[in-house]
Amino acid sequence: MIEDMVQLRGVSKRYSLGNTEVSALKKIDLSVKKGSFISIIGPSGSGKSTLLNLIACLDIPTDGEVVVDGQVVNRLSGRQLADLRLHRIGIVFQSFNLIPVLNVYENVEYPLLLQGVARPEKKRRIEHLLEAVGLADRHFHKPDELSGGQRQRVGVARALVTHPALVIADEPTGNLDSQTALSIIALMRRLNREEGTTFIFSTHDSHIIESVDVVIRLQDGQICS
């Protein structure tokens, strides 16, 4: 039985910026047990978003191996990576990434359509989560009719609706007021405890940092002890 949801083995990530090579991550070793509730913190430019993108299977490392749910990400095809994200990973993007032509209900529904979930089950999940994030009265609103905080909550509902084994969240409460942020953290913590969902956050929010089991600190692309 696989105990680790995520493993990084000697992972480095470099980008070319014109004639300059930028080293975003340097020889990262990291193991995340299933059911963990983890926060990644560090100053701007420390590599937090790069690390999350690798774990979320949105990017591949320059060196080393990333293993998610027992699968070596480096060895997967584009289609296999898409399937892994669709069925096992929920992602809360800092920039929301909502589909502008779809309303709130349809944005949350979209990954369930790709999964082929039956209509009654889709409806039950979507309505439950929209109620949980405080958007039960916003079903038919388009993203441009919502505030930044409301869009963030749609993004959270969309990430959780597939019942993922792993949720990656880049500043999930960055656009929320304190009360809403606390309710979203409580929802995620409940899913973590009741369903064993693994959560990995990038955040500056003290409410999240205080509620997690483990805090990982990044500095200049390396994990600090």
- 3 state DSSP class of 80: helix
pLDDT at 3: 86
Domain annotation covers residue 194: yes
Contact 51, 168 (CB under 8 A): no
DSSP class of 45 = T
> Does residue 70 lie within any of the structural domains?
no
Handedness of CA 86, 90, 91, 96 (dihedral sign): positive
**Euclidean distance between CA atoms 11 and 58, whole angstroms:** 15
Residue 156 sits in a domain of what CATH number? 3.40.50.300
Strands (E), the chain: 4-17, 20-33, 37-41, 63-68, 71-72, 89-92, 166-170, 198-202, 214-219, 222-224
pLDDT at 4: 94
In a domain, 98, yes or no: yes
Residue 72: beta bridge partners? 67
In a domain, 207, yes or no: yes
Axis crossing angle, helix 104-115 with helix 119-132, rounded to the nearest 10: 140
pLDDT in tens, the chain (225 residues): 568 999 999 999 999 888 899 899 999 999 999 999 999 999 988 999 999 999 999 999 999 999 999 999 999 999 999 999 999 999 998 888 999 999 999 999 999 999 999 999 999 999 999 999 999 999 999 999 999 999 999 999 999 999 999 999 998 888 888 888 888 888 889 899 999 999 999 988 888 888 899 999 999 999 996
Q: Pairing relation of β-strands 63-68 and 214-219? A: unpaired
Q: What pLDDT is recorded for position 2?
A: 66
Q: Which residue has the tokens 């969902």?
A: 197
54 in a structural domain: no
> Which residues, including other chains, have CB under 8 Å from residue 20's CB and lie 6 or more apart?
none
Predicted structure pTM score: 0.92
- What is the count of structural domains for the chain? 1
Strands 37-41 and 198-202: parallel
Domain containing 203: what range? Answer: 36-49+76-224
Residue 193 lies in a domain: yes
